């Protein structure tokens, strides 16, 4: 079941939560809506679910499998919704929570008691909580509660699964485990899913495609690889992963930062213009000696070898702090200490000219 | 200082420990320091005891003694005289009217309280805080004034009086007036108990129910109502106690027609004014008993409310 939204806007009072947003989620895909808080990602999800209505606009459309659902109420859209704080029915047992959606169906298409039991037991097995049916939500851990919430959402066999920061309230380790589990579950049941998150790691790891949102608009839609390696905007570049930001000048197809130069074929005019160069910490190399090509001379100011990569903080004339991530073996080989003078060679850099439209 | 004594106790209670209980006691005693130092948040002994004394004596003079004297006075001329007070048409009529009034006022206030708190706690609308203030009005206004409002509205010289008279409907100095005044005075009880709880619980569970396909009624019946059931019961208990015990507002609209428009509190007053003390106190003892029962029920329900909410709070801390 594909999901398509067209020209959605939503304002709360004077706050613009969504501004003319269009998006297509393909059948069986897991898409992550990623962005800082207030970027409109949750609003978009809630509009898809039918928990919010978009601002009235004749061009606004919400389509499930090419069929209009713009006017249908939440209960009729066939969505499974998972809330950040689980929203389990606190006075009901785990079993009753999962069975709820089946039991409230009109008598005509309500499953029999036996088939409800079978389905709930099957789901309890799926979420690895067999034997927990009689427990109450308050007797479960956060991770267990969220799995129950997921089972409850998919018990009604929804056509799409919508998850609002599902792991946001959990600690890092549980979050990681549940994230992997969700991905495996998705590969098993192929339910078209939309996940809202502000955690880039989560989005890049779980999703087939990532929708990066900022200030009520979509900045970029792409595979995790695309949004990480070919960011379409400064915002995406800065939001995803660590990045060094340098101010520079661009002129006639070339941006220059001190002794370093970068090609920027999009700007061919002969007048100079301000630009920004972005370099990921892992895209920088450190050498003790200068090579033939021009490098940036810098002084080591701080070292942090803890972690999978060693981090080196450098200081150079005319730029702020430079952060470099080195593989541990390279780091040992260099044997740096604060105060050493080194040369920095970018393997990869991206230039953006603010307010410059190609 | 008692801290390390406690630790020692816990250690020796580890599984497999064979130490008898009396040894533990001795251990605790030995570790008690000779001079007791006062904790930072502890008051001196004399302050603590005088505060306790003050509270207890207040309770004795203003609560226990009056309560005792009610029963003592009621039984002064023996059990037969006590029972005779109820073997009286006027007394029985007063009991009946009180029960009828509560039986109408309490269910109506449950409906009103649920509707008001549902709309206030779960929805955003214009004039919400004004409505919230209005709900408290009966608490703020003297009951006598509340009664007077209805006399001015429905009385013979009142706003709707002439029309009501032409239709042959009597409200003031009749049972409907008593019921209306009681409803007015008691309507904040249920709403006041439920609003804060509903507000705290938010609307996520309802949203979850709706996404699962439940309709409005199912959502209310299976999700919203069970979540507030103990608070609701608590409100009902208080509402009922007040409905049966209300004097001021009812007194104004009742007209004091013996055997017709007298509720229990009014009947007590009449008996007392007639110097029929045994009967007055006998009937009063019935109301006092209602108070005691209400308190007991209140304590039980309160503990339920607390235990359900704290277990929720505690477990939400771990993941």
- Whole-number Å distance between alpha carbons of B222 and B210: 12
* pLDDT given at position B12: 41
* CA nearest neighbour of B248 among B109, B150, B116: B150
Threshold 0.80, pTM exceeds: no
Q: What is the DSSP string of A283-351?
A: GEEEESS--SS--EEEEEEEEE--SSEEEEEEE-TTS--EEEEEEHHHHHHHT--TT-EEEEEES--EE
- Inspect the interface and report whether the beta carbons of A79 and B211 lie closer than 8 Å: yes
Residue A275 has pLDDT above 80, yes or no: yes
CB contact burial A196-227 (16+ within 10 A = b; e otherwise): bbbbbebbbebbbbbbbbbebbbbbbbebeeb
Which residue out of B213, B215, B224 would a mutagenesis test of the A interface target, given it has the greatest number of A Cβ atoms within 10 Å?
A: B213
Q: What is the DSSP string of A196-210?
A: EES-HHHHHHH-SEE
| Residue whose entry in the numeric block shows the structure tokens 């070919």 | A230
Residue A154 has pLDDT above 70, yes or no: yes
Look at B253 and A218; give whichever has higher pLDDT: A218
Q: Please report the ipTM that was assigned to this predicted complex.
A: 0.82
Residue B319 has pLDDT above 70, yes or no: no
B280 pLDDT band, cuts 50/70/90, is confident
Work out the average pLDDT over B116-127.
86
B316 pLDDT band, cuts 50/70/90, is very low
* pLDDT given at position A273: 84
A136 pLDDT band, cuts 50/70/90, is very high
Percent of the residues in chain A that have a pLDDT greater than 70, as a whole number: 99
* CA nearest neighbour of A315 among A276, A258, A275: A258
- Inspect the interface and report whether the beta carbons of A75 and B215 lie closer than 8 Å: yes
- Are the CB atoms for B187 and B112 separated by under 8 Å? yes
Residue B212 with chain A: CB contacts under 8 Å: 75, 100-101, 104, 152-153, 156
Per residue in A158-214, pLDDT tens? Answer: 989 999 998 887 888 888 888 888 898 888 888 999 999 998 989 999 999 999 999
Which residue out of A72, A75, A84, A141 would a mutagenesis test of the B interface target, given it has the greatest number of B Cβ atoms within 10 Å?
A: A75
Percent of the residues in chain A that have a pLDDT greater than 90, as a whole number: 51
* pLDDT given at position A208: 95
Work out the average pLDDT over A313-320.
84
- Residues of B (201-260) whose Cβ lies below 8 Å from A: 204-205, 207-215, 218, 222-223, 226-227, 229
- Are the CB atoms for A320 and A243 separated by under 8 Å? no
- Asked if the C-beta of B307 comes within 8 angstroms of chain A's C-beta atoms, the answer is no
- Whole-number Å distance between alpha carbons of A307 and B41: 46
A153 pLDDT band, cuts 50/70/90, is very high
Q: Which of A91, A170, A171 sits opposite B226 (nearest CB)?
A: A91
The SS3 assignment for A163 reads strand
* pLDDT given at position B208: 94
Q: What is the DSSP string of B223-290?
A: IIHHHTHHHHHHHHHHHHHHHHH--HHHHHHH---TTTS--HHHHHHHHHHTT-HHHHHHHHHHHHHH
- Inspect the interface and report whether the beta carbons of A51 and B211 lie closer than 8 Å: yes
- Are the CB atoms for A216 and A16 separated by under 8 Å? yes
A292 pLDDT band, cuts 50/70/90, is confident
Residue B41 has pLDDT above 80, yes or no: no
The SS3 assignment for B26 reads helix
Per residue in B204-228, pLDDT tens? Answer: 999 999 999 999 899 999 999 999 9
Work out the average pLDDT over A279-303.
87
Residue B312 has pLDDT above 60, yes or no: no
The CA distance from B216 to the nearest CA of chain A, in Å, is 10
Q: Which of A49, A90, A174 sits opposite B312 (nearest CB)?
A: A90
Look at B3 and B220; give whichever has higher pLDDT: B220
Helix axes A94-103, A113-126, angle to 10 degrees: 130
| Residue whose entry in the numeric block shows the structure tokens 């601002």 | A55
A357 pLDDT band, cuts 50/70/90, is low
Residue B233 with chain A: CB contacts under 8 Å: none
Residue A233 has pLDDT above 80, yes or no: yes
- Whole-number Å distance between alpha carbons of B10 and A356: 71
Compare all CA atoms of chain B with the CA of A174 and give the residue at the minimum distance.
Answer: B319
B305 pLDDT band, cuts 50/70/90, is low
Work out the average pLDDT over B107-134.
89
Residue B228 with chain A: CB contacts under 8 Å: none
| Residue whose entry in the numeric block shows the structure tokens 């199912």 | B218
Residue B214 with chain A: CB contacts under 8 Å: 75, 100-101, 104
Q: Give the number of other Cβ atoms within 10 Å of residue A31's Cβ.
A: 23
* pLDDT given at position B306: 64
| Average confidence score pLDDT of chain B | 80
The CA distance from A90 to the nearest CA of chain B, in Å, is 7
Percent of the residues in chain B that have a pLDDT greater than 70, as a whole number: 83
* pLDDT given at position B149: 87
- Inspect the interface and report whether the beta carbons of A80 and B318 lie closer than 8 Å: no
- Asked if the C-beta of A101 comes within 8 angstroms of chain B's C-beta atoms, the answer is yes
- Are the CB atoms for B276 and B215 separated by under 8 Å? no
Work out the average pLDDT over B105-132.
89
- Inspect the interface and report whether the beta carbons of B204 and A174 lie closer than 8 Å: no
Q: Which of B227, B229, B315 sits opposite A138 (nearest CB)?
A: B315
Which residue out of A89, A93, A137 would a mutagenesis test of the B interface target, given it has the greatest number of B Cβ atoms within 10 Å?
A: A89
Q: Tell me the Ramachandran region of residue B125: left when phi exceeds 0, alpha when psi lies from -120 to 50, beta otherwise.
A: beta
* CA nearest neighbour of A128 among A60, A177, A71: A177
Residue A217 has pLDDT above 60, yes or no: yes
B36 pLDDT band, cuts 50/70/90, is low
Per residue in B131-163, pLDDT tens? Answer: 888 888 888 888 888 888 888 888 877 788 888
């Amino acid at each position: 079941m594909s999901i398509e939204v067209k020209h959605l806007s939503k304002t709360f009072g004077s706050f613009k939560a969504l501004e003319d947003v269009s998006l297509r989620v393909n059948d069986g895909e897991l898409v992550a809506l990623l962005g800082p808080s207030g970027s409109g990602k949750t609003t978009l999800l809630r509009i898809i679910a039918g928990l919010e209505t978009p601002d009235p606009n004749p061009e606004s459309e919400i389509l499930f499998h090419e069929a209009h659902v713009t006017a249908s109420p939440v209960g009729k859209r066939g969505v499974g919704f998972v809330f950040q704080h689980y929203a389990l029915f606190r006075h009901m047992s785990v079993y009753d929570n999962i069975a709820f959606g089946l039991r409230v169906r009109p008598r005509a298409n309500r499953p029999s008691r036996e088939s409800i039991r079978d389905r709930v037991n099957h789901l309890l097995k799926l979420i690895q909580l067999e034997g927990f049916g009689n427990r109450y939500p308050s007797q479960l851990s956060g991770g267990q509660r969220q799995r129950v919430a997921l089972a409850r959402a998919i018990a009604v066999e929804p056509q799409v699964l919508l998850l609002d920061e599902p792991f946001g309230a959990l600690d890092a380790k549980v979050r990681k485990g549940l994230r992997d589990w969700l991905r495996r579950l998705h590969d098993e049941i192929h339910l078209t899913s939309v996940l809202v998150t502000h955690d880039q790691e989560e989005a890049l790891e779980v999703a087939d495609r990532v929708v990066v949102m900022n200030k009520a608009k979509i900045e970029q839609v792409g595979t995790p690889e695309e949004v990480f390696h070919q960011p379409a905007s400064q915002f995406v570049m800065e939001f995803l992963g660590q990045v060094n930001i340098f101010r520079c000048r661009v002129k006639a197809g070339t941006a220059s930062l001190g002794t370093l130069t970068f090609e920027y074929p999009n700007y061919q005019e002969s007048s100079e213009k301000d630009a920004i160069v972005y370099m990921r910490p892992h895209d920088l190399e450190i050498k003790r000696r200068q090579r033939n090509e021009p490098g940036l001379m810098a002084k080591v100011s701080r070292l942090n070898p803890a972690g999978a990569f060693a981090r080196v903080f450098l200081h150079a004339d005319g730029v702020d702090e430079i952060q470099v991530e080195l593989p541990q073996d390279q780091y040992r080989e260099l044997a740096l200490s604060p105060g050493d003078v080194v040369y920095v060679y970018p393997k990869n850099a991206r230039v953006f000219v603010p307010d410059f439209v190609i | 200082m008692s801290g390390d004594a406690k630790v020692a106790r816990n250690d020796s209670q580890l599984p497999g420990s064979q130490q008898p209980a009396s040894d533990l006691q001795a251990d605790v005693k030995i570790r008690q320091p000779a001079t007791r130092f006062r904790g930072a948040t502890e008051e001196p002994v004399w302050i603590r005891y005088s505060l306790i004394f003050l509270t207890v004596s207040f309770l004795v003079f203003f609560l226990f003694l009056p309560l005792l004297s009610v029963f003592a006075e009621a039984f002064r001329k023996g059990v037969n005289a006590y029972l005779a007070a109820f073997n009286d048409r006027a007394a029985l009529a007063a009991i009946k009217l009180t029960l009828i009034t509560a039986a109408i006022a309490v269910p109506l206030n449950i409906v009103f309280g649920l509707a008001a708190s549902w709309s206030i706690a779960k929805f955003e609308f214009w004039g919400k805080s004004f409505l919230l203030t209005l709900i408290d009005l009966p608490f703020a206004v003297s009951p006598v004034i509340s009664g007077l409002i209805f006399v001015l509205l429905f009385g013979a010289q009142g706003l709707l009086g002439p029309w009501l008279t032409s239709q042959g409907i009597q409200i003031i100095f009749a049972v409907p007036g008593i019921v209306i005044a009681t409803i007015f005075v008691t309507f904040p009880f249920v709403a006041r108990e439920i609003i804060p709880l509903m507000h705290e619980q938010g609307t996520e569970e309802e949203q979850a129910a709706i996404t699962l396909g439940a309709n409005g009624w199912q959502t209310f019946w299976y999700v919203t109502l069970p979540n507030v059931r103990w608070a609701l019961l608590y409100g009902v208990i208080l509402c009922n106690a007040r409905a049966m015990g209300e004097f001021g507002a009812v007194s104004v609209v009742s007209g004091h027609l013996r055997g017709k428009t007298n509720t229990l509190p009014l009947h007590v007053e009449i008996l007392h004014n007639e110097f029929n003390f045994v009967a007055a106190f006998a009937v009063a003892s019935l109301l006092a008993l209602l108070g005691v029962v209400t308190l007991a029920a209140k304590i039980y329900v309160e503990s339920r409310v607390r235990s359900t909410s704290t277990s929720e709070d505690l477990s939400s801390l771990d993941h």
